[in-house]
């Protein structure tokens, strides 16, 4: 459970970074882009003694990992567009409810983890989805100035503006599908291509390379168009963001390995764990108020954790 707890805490550190960025005038988009080189350096320093890093494009997993890194950036951009046009409530719910995709794949396609779900486990899974919806629900303000939600092992961007109708209503659906697809692919790669902790670092560094290339290209285009000017503050923000970003993703992969790739067990605990700890931090340090629905959701989250993991808890 140690890696799972660390992944949850490090993910909350990411949320705290984004909460503090506006206070220090940090450009969120630039911090996102530059955090990935920091991620790479962090992972490179964690390589075991005597192990080197190289990219072998002759391997299938290399292309999968590189493509997944590209998917990270694209998913964050979708989150920004969805938040701007459809609001934080719809986007946040789409992000968190996407856990059902990797869970269903883990249960019915990958069939991993060596654990048979019983009635209590399935009830806990159902309550986890309900808990995520209730605990992240907020009444939509009429004037939006909001941040996007942060995914497992990723970052978000800020956006504000009037909402539009039409095809934009499909943006939360796209967020739901992309978050679910990336988490499912992470689980698949962990099962198929990551047999040891040493391999985990190499695969993760390759994913980060994909995000670096995509992010820098996007930033270059914005600079050429005159939409961006590099800020020193963003480089500082990239450091405070990049280190916990890599470590949160790395410890999530180690958690999946520890539980035999059982995403049906790991992802619900991870998602609701982040929600619980983030809510606690928001109340204690930012004086945020929870609605009745939020409080009910947090209570259900605790119950869901117990039901999903009751076998593991008894074995402790």
Rounded Cα–Cα distance for residues 232 and 236 (Å): 7
DSSP secondary structure letter of residue 153: T
Q: How large is the average pLDDT for residues 207-224?
A: 92
CA 216 → CA 11, 17, 30, 263, 264, distances in Å? Answer: 23, 21, 9, 31, 34
> What is the average pLDDT value for the chain, to the nearest integer?
79
DSSP secondary structure letter of residue 87: -
Phi, psi of 313, rounded to the nearest 5 degrees: -65, -40
Q: How large is the average pLDDT for residues 105-119?
A: 73
Query: Tens of pLDDT along 161-186?
Result: 444 455 677 788 888 889 889 989 88
Pick 210 or 140 by higher pLDDT: 210
At 315 the pLDDT is 62
Residue 46: band (very low, low, confident or very high) from pLDDT cuts 50, 70, 90 = confident
At 249 the pLDDT is 86
At 90 the pLDDT is 65
CA 177 → CA 11, 41, 99, 173, distances in Å? Answer: 21, 30, 10, 6
Query: Tens of pLDDT along 264-290?
Result: 788 888 888 887 888 888 888 878 787
Rounded Cα–Cα distance for residues 31 and 245 (Å): 12
Query: Tens of pLDDT along 238-262?
Result: 999 999 989 998 898 888 888 877 7
Pick 164 or 132 by higher pLDDT: 132
At 87 the pLDDT is 63
């Amino acid at each position: 459970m140690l890696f799972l707890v660390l992944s949850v805490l490090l993910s909350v550190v990411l949320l705290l970074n984004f909460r503090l960025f506006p206070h220090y005038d940090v450009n969120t988009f630039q911090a996102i882009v530059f955090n990935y080189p920091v991620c790479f350096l962090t992972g490179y320093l964690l390589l075991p003694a005597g192990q080197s890093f190289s990219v072998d494009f002759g391997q299938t997993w290399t292309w999968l990992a590189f493509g997944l890194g590209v998917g990270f950036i694209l998913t964050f951009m979708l989150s920004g567009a969805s938040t701007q046009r459809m609001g934080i409530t719809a986007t946040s719910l789409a992000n968190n409810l996407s856990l059902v995709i990797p869970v269903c794949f883990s249960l019915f396609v990958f069939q991993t983890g060596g654990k048979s779900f019983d009635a209590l486990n399935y009830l806990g899974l159902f309550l986890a989805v309900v808990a995520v919806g209730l605990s992240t629900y907020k009444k939509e303000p009429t004037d939006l100035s909001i941040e996007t939600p942060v995914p497992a092992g990723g970052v978000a961007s800020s956006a504000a503006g009037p909402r539009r109708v039409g095809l934009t209503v499909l943006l939360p659906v796209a967020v739901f599908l992309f978050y679910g697809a990336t988490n499912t692919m992470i689980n698949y790669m962990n099962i198929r291509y990551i047999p040891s902790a040493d391999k985990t670092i190499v695969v993760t560094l390759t994913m980060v390379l994909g995000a670096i290339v995509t992010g820098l290209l996007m930033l270059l285009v914005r600079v050429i168009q005159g939409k961006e000017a590099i800020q020193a503050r963003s480089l500082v923000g990239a450091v405070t963001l990049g280190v916990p970003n890599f470590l949160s993703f790395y410890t999530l992969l180690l958690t999946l390995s520890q539980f035999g790739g059982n995403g049906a067990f790991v992802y619900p605990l991870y998602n609701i764990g982040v929600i619980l700890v983030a809510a606690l931090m928001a109340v204690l340090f930012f004086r945020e108020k929870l609605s009745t629905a939020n409080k009910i959701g947090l209570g259900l989250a605790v119950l869901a954790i117990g039901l999903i993991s009751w076998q593991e808890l008894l074995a402790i």
